[in-house]
Amino acid sequence: MLSRRNFLKTGLITGAAGLPLASQLNALDAPPMVAAQEHGGEVTLVPLPPRMAPVDASAEPWQKRVRRVGQTNMTEHDPAVMNVEEWADYWHSAKAEIVFISVTGILAYYPSKVPFHRHGKYLNGRDFFGECANAAKKRGMRVVARMSPDLNWGDALAAHPEWAMRHADGSVQHSGEEPRLFKTCMFTSYMDDYVPAIMREINSLYDVDCFYTNGWPPLGSLPDCHCAVCSKLPASSTPAYWRVFTDRVLDLWHRYDAIAKEKKQDSFFFANSGGNVRGGPNLDRLGKTLEWFQADNQGRTQFEPAIWGCSLQGRVCNAVLDGKFAANVTAAYASSFPGWRNASKNPAEIRMWLDQTLASGMVPYLHFVGAEKGFDEDRRWQPVGRDWLDWSAKHDAHLTTRRSIANIGVVLGQGTQLLYPGPATVRGRNYMRETTDGIYDALLRGRFAWDYVHEDRLDAERLKKYRALLLPNIAILSDAQCEQLRAYVRGGGSLMASFETSLYDENLKPRDEFALGDVFGIRKGGDVVGTNGNPYYARIEHPPSPHPLLAGFGDTNWLPGAENRVPLRPVDDPLLTVVPGFVRYPPELAYPPVSQTDEPAVVLRENGAGRTAWFAGDLERSYWITGNGDLLRLMHNTIRWLTRDERPVHVEGPGLVEMFCWETGPGYAVHLLNYNTPDAQHGWVQSIEPLGAQHVSLKLPAGVRVRSVELLRAGQSVPHEVEGGVLRFTVPALDEYEVAAITVGE
């Protein structure tokens, strides 16, 4: 049988990179394609699950059929200058099926009679909202009534001082940029009375399809207010406050939703969501409540620089929505800090964010701030968005996802992301972001197929699709969650965990011992140890036979450890032991006073079909901040050992590529995102370097036949082969993005 290495050596794929695409495709007809190999080990393809029953689209809520969303975010000056017909024509030409139109709450875009709903100063009695809504409806587009409940003006404050968010000294919290605006408190009657009054007024005047609040609830961090109501609540940023906050958000959400439905039953309310792994309200509860997840994740900033920022959001949505609708906002404007909100963003960055939206299972949503600026001053974003959206409209059937194909679950510890302060040695909010980026990067480089699994959704039914669960420093876990993980391992599942995982309960109360200690066979040996000079090393203890975790580690007796660790008590036959950290400078003293200990750096266990691996150190974050290849290899080796290298889909080829595989209505879709650019982890993409051939293989469910494999971006079919139920084909070249759409039949 031809090995992959020999296959590549024939030059039929890689050697043909310079040929026109058609020539490469012809060349592919010749050689047999074989199961991929990497790092010297076999990958075992496991069959995809039986296909889901067909969906009756007419029985689904209307928003599930929305595939493109458009928004020109209206400014106060727009009513004076915006050409309503031109605005509506653009979004119609871009195939948007629904547009956001501002009602607002800060400035009324219609002749509102609600007290303190100040008319924009260029409105002059005009019904701007109504004209826009009519223009959209005339073209067959639905309308979202967009409100902003987060800020209001001095006259409202004078009449209702209780509406304001307050500092600890009792003073009013104002907008940082416009001090005439005060911040409204979500626990006050502003939200109980003022927002419903606007909603009811809109329902009485217009035919809108749903309501949305911008700017509320807050994302990524929790409010800190000391008004009369809030001063009776638990302190902000505590688990108790997070629960009260979620209760209030969902209570208002239900009430607003009921108001939306007073006019028509298929209307609904939704609000700002997103914040990826941090979120705002508890995402498990939010997912059960909402009908539209509005991922307000508009673009990369220096605070969230990783290139996969939008895909990360999509993976979070998939963990909590159970197939409900999610749209992710792509800022076509410069969404950075500092940001130029009325100028276009790099075209490649706009496209990449839209690509990630689709690849990760969300619906694309294009956004520009200001009609005056977006249709007059800077029009460059328009063809970028329209061309891309127009392309997507040709392939809606293949681009609509039904179920992710993955066999690894990464536990999304939202509580840890929001509330855990970091270990005692490295306090800070970046700590868990860096941990998240570390495991994310490792999974992409290993081409693993993975999902997030929310901490509150660890039930056996949901976990059964996963061969392994990864817990990258999930510090906060309740006893009940630990029991679910215990049951998962008893049932044959595998686990990887690191560092402070399970050392805090759901109230952020530290535990004396790891709650998952019995599952992993570990006991705590001391408090967190950080780094002052050389971090600790992991000594290879030469097991009787080479262990798969050590594959590729020749010619060394030790490996890097991590920046921080929680010391463990000794175990029998440790594979790696800790060599404690020591002086880094001066070099005269850069040697370990103690070169061998019995403190384990990793603890491995086999439990029947399942395996567990515990790392004493924070290797995911240490990998992210150093790029250390040994830490990457150790994570890859561990994940491969835990899963016995089983994969539901395998894509092999050069480059940093993010892969998603979905079951779709027509068959399957393999999405490949090319991240090969100097701008991958900083700033915006100027351009993406094309990559060579990517070899795709997956094992079909019994009885499923493949009719065709089509590359939706390249716009052509590729040959495929099915042997022993395994489908194989090659994407000859990968530009920015490709979707291999597999059509199946019986």
Residue 245 vs 268, nearer CB to Zn ion: 245
Residue 207 vs 224, nearer CB to Zn ion: 224
Residue 227 vs 619, nearer CB to Zn ion: 227
Give me the half-sphere count of Cα atoms (radius 13 Å) on the Cβ side of residue 227: 20
- Residue 508 vs residues 239, 458, 476, 478, 512: alpha-carbon distances, Å: 7, 19, 7, 9, 13
Q: Minimum CB separation from Zn ion for residue 184, in Å?
A: 9
Residue with tokens 């948007």: 96
Token pair listed for 555: 């010619």
Q: Minimum CB separation from Zn ion for residue 506, in Å?
A: 24
Residue with tokens 């990360």: 312
The DSSP-derived string for 679-713 is: TTTSS--S----B--EEEEEEPPTT-EEEEEEETT
Q: Minimum CB separation from Zn ion for residue 252, in Å?
A: 14
How far apart, in whole angstroms, are the C-alpha atoms of residue 450 and residue 444?
Answer: 9
Residue 88 vs 164, nearer CB to Zn ion: 164
Closest CA to 617 of 692, 566, 680: 566
Residue 227 vs 712, nearer CB to Zn ion: 227
Q: Minimum CB separation from Zn ion for residue 163, in Å?
A: 9
Residue 164 vs 432, nearer CB to Zn ion: 164
Q: SS3 sequence, 22-72? A: HHHHHHCCCCCCCCCEECCEECEECECCCCCCCCCHHHCCHHHHCCCEEEE
The 3-state DSSP composition of the chain as helix, strand, coil percent (nearest 5) reads 30, 25, 45
Residue 191 vs 230, nearer CB to Zn ion: 230
Residue 61 vs 170, nearer CB to Zn ion: 170
- Residue 316 vs residues 72, 443, 590: alpha-carbon distances, Å: 26, 15, 43
Closest CA to 118 of 148, 162, 82: 148
Residue 190 vs 660, nearer CB to Zn ion: 190
Residue 109 vs 163, nearer CB to Zn ion: 163
Q: Minimum CB separation from Zn ion for residue 218, in Å?
A: 12
Residue 219 vs 693, nearer CB to Zn ion: 219
CB 439 within 8 A of CB 413: no
Token pair listed for 513: 């011992």
Q: Residue 374 carries which DSSP code?
A: I
Alpha helices (H) along 542-581: none
The DSSP-derived string for 273-329 is: E--TTT-SS-HHHHHHH-SEEEE-----BTTB--TTHHHHHHHHHHHHHTT-EEEEE
Q: Minimum CB separation from Zn ion for residue 247, in Å?
A: 15
Would you call 657 helix, strand, or coil by DSSP?
A: strand
- Residue 9 vs residues 31, 227, 589, 710, 731: alpha-carbon distances, Å: 12, 70, 49, 26, 17
Q: Minimum CB separation from Zn ion for residue 245, in Å?
A: 11
Q: Minimum CB separation from Zn ion for residue 182, in Å?
A: 12
Q: Minimum CB separation from Zn ion for residue 241, in Å?
A: 12
First-to-last CA distance in the chain? Answer: 30
Q: Minimum CB separation from Zn ion for residue 154, in Å?
A: 18
The binding site for Zn ion (CB under 5 A) comprises 185, 187, 225, 227, 230
Q: Minimum CB separation from Zn ion for residue 419, in Å?
A: 19
Token pair listed for 88: 């509506």
